[in-house]
């Protein structure tokens, strides 16, 4: 019996050493015994296995009257000649968002919003506040997990145009009684946004 404790200790040390070779650091040696009894291991990957940040790598647009989506990387969208649809998509991504920019020019907000704004900022090539000051927001309906969409309304100095935008972003223009233009931007679940757009059957299938 007196040899049992050293035997167990040496066994746990050998296990810890084997785990260290697989880049697993054991802080308390008795945790090895507990780990040996585990059948299911659950882990929160955000901030643990990942950095807690998201990034947009690709986007897709549908030009007016087209029936297919045009896919491109963010680098391609940034460096290529920008079509009106791409410009509207990028501008809409900056306007229809609650992400903010700090004095250190860093974007803050939810990871999804920051990823969208960062990508659109690269495409537009203008400071976020400059774009938003040109088209001031006058009303918004925040995103909800129940409705799965977000809507913002922007003032009369917004860009004209009422063509629907693909990839979860739609734009509409209305005329108020005072003849001032109000631009509405909608972002959310693709199935909901597509249902709000005037698209042909071919366009819906492509999306």
- Catalytic residue set: 44
Helix, strand, coil shares of the chain, percent, nearest 5, are 35, 20, 45
Alpha-carbon span 160 to 146, nearest angstrom: 31
Give start and end residues of each alpha helix (H) in the chain.
4-21, 31-35, 74-79, 84-95, 111-124, 128-134, 190-195, 201-206
Alpha-carbon span 138 to 33, nearest angstrom: 61
Backbone angles phi, psi at 108, to 5 degrees: -130, 150
- Cα end-to-end span (Å), the chain: 71
Pairing state of beta strands 169-175 and 107-108? unpaired
């Amino acid at each position: 019996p007196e040899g049992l404790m050293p035997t167990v200790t040496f066994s746990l040390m050998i296990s810890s050493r084997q785990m260290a070779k697989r880049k697993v650091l054991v802080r308390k040696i008795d945790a090895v015994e507990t780990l040996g009894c585990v059948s299911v291991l659950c882990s929160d990957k955000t901030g643990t296995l990942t950095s807690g940040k998201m990034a947009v790598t690709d986007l897709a647009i549908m030009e007016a009257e087209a029936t297919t989506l045009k896919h491109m990387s963010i680098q391609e969208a940034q460096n290529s000649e920008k079509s009106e649809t791409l410009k509207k998509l990028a501008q809409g991504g900056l306007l229809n968002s609650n992400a903010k920019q700090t004095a250190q020019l860093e974007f803050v907000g939810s990871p999804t919003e920051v990823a969208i704004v960062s990508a659109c900022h690269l495409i537009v090539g203008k400071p976020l506040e400059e774009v938003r000051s040109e088209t001031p927001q006058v009303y918004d309906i925040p995103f909800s997990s129940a409705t799965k969409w977000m809507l913002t309304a922007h003032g009369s100095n917004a860009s004209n145009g009422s063509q629907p935008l693909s990839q979860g972003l739609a734009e509409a223009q209305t005329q108020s009684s005072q003849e001032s233009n109000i631009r509405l931007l909608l972002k959310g679940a693709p199935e909901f946004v597509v249902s709000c757009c005037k698209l042909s059957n071919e366009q819906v299938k492509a999306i």
